[in-house]
Structure 1
Amino acid sequence: MDATPHRDAINFFNRYTGKIEQEEIYGESFLRWTYETLPGRIALAVAAKRVWFSKWYGWRMDRTASRAKVLPFIETYRLDPNEFQDPPESFCTFNEFFYRKLNPAARPIDSDPDSVVFPADGRHLTIADVSQADGFWVKGQKMDLARLLGSRELAGRYATGSMLISRLCPVDYHRFHFPVSGVASESRLIPGSLSSVNPIALRKRLAILWENKRVITEIQTESHGTVLMIEVGAACVGGIHQTFVPGMVQKGDDKGYFTFGGSMTMVLMEPERIQFSDDLLKHSSQQREVYARMGDVAGFA
């Protein structure tokens, strides 16, 4: 880990401390070399964003030898083992630890029927109207909904809709959950590459979001319309795994998990179906993410 302050440090607002904090980036030196130097960009084109590279890295995290990384990782990133459903010593590989389950009490789900909750732990950005957004992590880059969704018809329906983007770092809890209650469809896979979704990479090329592998699920709801949930793969993410059964689901139900690596979920809602929380709107307008945990309130119908 390169602890030296960087002029392009990634800052976020922590909802629980009420402070702007600097992100500890897992593998920062390698990530910056990859996206900010010519040799790194060549390596990226040759290997780093290729699916085989992520599968190889995921395979390493599935080997028994990777178990030795678990306890040092917990200590380095100050994770709380009391939240874990199973003790740290029980994990046979790093990946088993990575997609661990938590005790239900560790992530209470907001009970208001009109609320939309965060689908995952992570750093979140919101866009009240996708058509009005001229940038996410940097000004001038716009979302290509048709390519993201793999459908011009869907893109038309959500062209002025609202979006919640939840970025999971390697240090985060890596299961994702339903943000609303409703009837969930079968998931649809859109194949793609596996580039990093860290802001260091997205500031260079937002198109990563619609070039990477992703999975889309439609959720029919009573008060929020049809909600789209999108899981986006990333570099060193061995897979996007769905654990739910299509049909009726409840807000906060387990939907699936990512194997090793940073990753992202996106929630897309029809126009005028949600009023995002004030802190999300405030910090998102400044291209600053808000840290919040799964089950906490993102907004209301």
Structure 2
Amino acid sequence: MALTTTSGPVIPFRLANRKRKSDHRKSKLRRNRRRALTWLRQMALRSVLKISLYRRMPLKSISRLWGRFNQVDLPVFLRRPLIGLYVWLFGCDLQEALVQDLRSYRNLGEFFRRQLREDVRPVDATHMLTSPSDGKVLYYGKVQNGILEQVKGVTYSLRGFLGPQTWDTSVPLALTSAGHDLMHQSDDSYQSSLHLRPGNELYHCIIYLAPGDYHRFHSPTTWTVHHRRHFPGELLSVNPGVARWIQGLFNFNERAVYTGQWEHGFFSMTAVGATNVGSIKIYCDQELQTNIHGKQPQNTFFDKPFPQPVTLHKGDMFGEFNLGSTIVLIFEAPQGFRFKVKEGDKIKFGRPLGCTA
């Protein structure tokens, strides 16, 4: 009798105790989840506020002032120490320069745009695509569903980057609204409307030019330029740290998009401006003026068709930055196309970038 009486209530008591502990753990887990979600929301809000404040900074005015400063002629006795300091800070290789005497450069701008000796950058002849510039490979690969990656995991839109597909029409030079034709078009349908050739894919590659790099850029292949589109945009920094921070960075920034054809179909090469890039100069397009005064309405661009397409051969000089920035290549190629670089690689102008298998 005592055993039965004693043992009777023991099982319910233990079950109740276990239930209380389980409920306590679940309650604690819910509280931790709520705290984590609150923290994530706060961090996201802070990030948005930081980006908003950063974009409100007068970066275009600062860049224009920097550009003017770079063009100020230096006294001969100051050229070697001041430009030499820049060489030391950013690791420039003077042995590659066509002119190695620093006293021959009247200002910093001339040194930024220095030419190289012809023998230091042989252009690879065996690969269909070569690097257009010195720099660092930020990202490369296939364009999927109209979305590109500026760095791993951070994306931007193909339709926002290139704008409406009017480059094959004879429109006059004009200021146009980019948003009107794209409002009701998805990223996926935008890519489909490029009408790639059967068996081809769309690829892209981003090369970042640091301040110490050679600042001229060249044609990466033989192609014909049919159209230029200039987005006035902003001048946010494009260094890898900022590219990881700001989603859609390249769609915000000033850029000159050149579109045309190469042996495999659609080809585009874009020079993207950045903070302290005083100007983008394109040798075959003297009308292009970048970093101009006055704020342009958002999502606007200037179009210029080339009635007589400009033919560029692999390795031809194409343009120059006044300081460092970024080159973006977007092109169609056969499905067997393979890149010969890796993310984060330092690459030199003329070196292999990719070829078909």
TM class by shorter-chain length? 0.7 to 0.9
Q: 8 Å contact 2:238–2:325 — kept in the other structure?
A: yes
The CA deviation at 1:64 is 2.0
Equivalent residue for 2:136, pick from 123, 129, 136:
123
The CA deviation at 1:127 is 3.0
Code of the aligned partner of 1:118: S
Which digits, 9 at most, give the CA deviation of each residue in 1:236-278, with x for residues without a partner?
A: 1001100136522210100000002x30001111153662335
Range 173-182 or range 240-249, more displaced:
240-249
How far, CA to CA, are the matches of 1:186 and 1:149 in structure 2? 11
Match of 2:355 in 1: 300
Q: 8 Å contact 1:158–1:269 — kept in the other structure?
A: no
Which digits, 9 at most, give the CA deviation of each residue in 1:78-122, with x for residues without a partner?
A: 32222111232210000110011111111110112x520000100
Match of 1:239 in 2: 279
Equivalent residue for 1:220, pick from 261, 271, 275:
261
Range 202-211 or range 128-137, more displaced:
128-137
Q: After TM superposition, what 4+ stretches of structure 1 lie above 6 angstroms from structure 2?
A: 36-40
Match of 1:80 in 2: 93
Q: 8 Å contact 1:100–1:173 — kept in the other structure?
A: yes
Cα separation, partners in 2 of 1:295 and 1:273, compared to 1, 3 Å: farther
Range 265-274 or range 227-236, more displaced:
265-274
How far, CA to CA, are the matches of 1:297 and 1:268 in structure 2? 16
| Sequence identity (%) | 26
How far, CA to CA, are the matches of 1:84 and 1:230 in structure 2? 25
The TM-score, its normalising length taken from structure 1, stands at: 0.75
How far, CA to CA, are the matches of 1:193 and 1:229 in structure 2? 19
The CA deviation at 1:123 is 0.4
The reply on whether 1:45 has 2:108 as its aligned counterpart is no
Code of the aligned partner of 2:257: I
Match of 1:98 in 2: 112
Which digits, 9 at most, give the CA deviation of each residue in 1:156-182, with x for residues without a partner?
A: 228951001110001100001000112
Question: Rg bigger for which structure?
Answer: 2
Instruction: Return 5+ residue gaps in structure 1 as ranges.
Output: 1-35
Match of 1:150 in 2: 163
Structure 1 residue matching 2:256: 3-state secondary structure? strand
Structure 1 residue matching 2:116: 3-state secondary structure? coil
Match of 2:66 in 1: 57
CA RMSD of aligned residues (A): 2.8
Q: 8 Å contact 1:162–1:269 — kept in the other structure?
A: yes
How far, CA to CA, are the matches of 1:168 and 1:94 in structure 2? 17
The reply on whether 1:211 has 2:252 as its aligned counterpart is yes
Which digits, 9 at most, give the CA deviation of each residue in 1:24-49, with x for residues without a partner?
A: xxxxxxxxxxxx9999867633425x
Code of the aligned partner of 1:167: Y
Which digits, 9 at most, give the CA deviation of each residue in 1:166-216, with x for residues without a partner?
A: 100011000010001122234321110000001111111132201100011
